[in-house]
Amino acid sequence: MYIVVTGAAGFVGANIVKALSDRGDYEIIAVDDLKQGDKFVNLVDCDIADYFHHEDFMQELEGGAFDGVIGAILHQGACSDTTETDGRYMMHNNYRYTRQLFDYCMEEEIQFIYASSAAVYGAGAVFREEPACESPLNIYGYSKYLFDQYLRRNWNECTAQVVGLRYFNVYGEREQHKGRMASVAYHFFNQYRASGKVRLFEGTAGYGNGEQRRDFVAVADAVRVNLHFLDNPQRSGIFNVGTGAAQSFNDVAVATVNACRAHAGETALSLAALQSQGLIEYIPFPADLKGKYQSYTQADIGALRAAGYKAPMLTVEVGVADYVGALCKRAEG
């Protein structure tokens, strides 16, 4: 039986493919759009059975080429650019394609695990998997929200496991292709190597400079959650994937700079010391993000824990330090 991963050369998708490949128990079909060809590097160390362009895969699927030979689809493919304004493209790529995969999986009784997003919550203060908490601020968030709503309307029609995973702010390996949509940890690392300092937004929405807070989750934890549900096909639902603890952008900056300093044999510095020495500086909050920016997110992971996922989540201090340390080693060749 095949395991299909869409968005397989992307950030979370490639990490899932790598984890499945390391298990050695699956024939993996990778599905993606390699118009951005440099994403191939994310799959070089993975063992896959076949690769399909995402539109070609859908044609093969609907033509019956894979009937009876797929055990699960882990659907990670999407346009994740929160500043994308082409609604037709976003809805086709994120909503309609997901619906087609879901409908096929229910016809064939195939496990379906898909990527939703914390963007469905918008500027709310409560991040629980309930419609009353959901109010997306952009078309990306809306495209994810709309499929979640479609699933809720069709729960009684489900013939197999269906799991929606609402990722919060994921960071980690295999995100180098994402450009400006890469994690702040990745950007801070590159800023520090290039200029010896990192730049954060000034305060907004009542938050001090760099004190906007997000639930930063390591991609390794996101992968472990996917595998948990793959291994437990009796559990369905929509679940937040975060640490359950918001941390500030200042926390990420401190962890990033100190990991770089540790790699260079230098001592760690406090936030105040980094600020006073000009290693952390603040820039004006972008006008085009006002009203469209989540200044605070913190996953309520009660439902995830109730579904049997008990593993601890990495904090920024541990997860970012490990990630940036690996980036430092790679940068030196």
- Would you call 18 a catalytic residue per the annotation? no
Q: Using the 8-state DSSP alphabet, how is residue 310 labeled?
A: -
The identity of residue 112, as a single letter, is: F
pLDDT tens profile 250-309 = 999 999 999 999 999 999 999 999 999 999 999 999 988 877 788 899 999 999 999 999
Catalytic residue among 26, 114, 121, 140: 140
Maximum pairwise Cα distance, the chain: 64
Q: How much is the CA Rg of the chain, to the nearest whole Å?
A: 20
Q: How far are the Cα atoms of 19, 30, 57, 70 from residue 5, in angstroms, in the given order?
A: 12, 5, 11, 11
Tell me, what's the pLDDT at 120? 96
For range 13-40, the mean pLDDT: 95
Give which of 24, 28, 25, 2 is closest to 13, Cα–Cα: 28
Phi, psi of 70 (to 5 degrees): -110, 130
Average pLDDT over residues 77-93: 85
Q: Tell me if the domain spanning 2-168+219-242+299-306 has CATH number 3.40.50.720.
A: yes
In the chain, what are the domain boundaries?
A: 2-168+219-242+299-306, 176-213+247-297+316-331
**244: which 2 tokens?**
């359950």
* Most confident region among 61-75, 83-97, 277-291 by mean pLDDT: 61-75
Q: Given a cut of 80, is residue 105 above it in pLDDT?
A: yes
Instruction: Report the distance separating Cα 27 and Cα 2, nearest Å.
Output: 5
Q: If phi over 0 gives left and psi between -120 and 50 gives alpha, with beta otherwise, what is residue 268?
A: beta
Instruction: Output the DSSP codes for 251-302.
Output: HHHHHHHHHHHHHTTPPP--HHHHHHTTSEEEEPPPGGGTTS--SB-----H
The CATH superfamily label for domain 176-213+247-297+316-331 reads UDP-galactose 4-epimerase, domain 1 (3.90.25.10)
Active-site residue (options: 51, 178, 282, 293): 178
pLDDT in tens, 193-247: 999 999 999 998 899 999 999 999 999 999 999 999 999 999 999 999 999 999 9
Whether residue 140 lies in the annotated active site = yes
d(CA 278, CA 300): 36
| φ and ψ at residue 267, rounded to 5 degrees | -80, 155
Alpha-helix runs per DSSP H in the chain: 11-23, 54-62, 87-90, 97-108, 139-153, 184-195, 219-231, 249-263, 271-276, 302-306, 316-331
For 119-156, the pLDDT digits (tens) are: 999 988 999 999 999 999 899 999 999 999 999 999 99
2-168+219-242+299-306 and 176-213+247-297+316-331 in the same fold: no
Would you tell me how many other CB atoms lie within 10 Å of the CB of residue 177? 18
Q: What is the pTM of this model?
A: 0.95
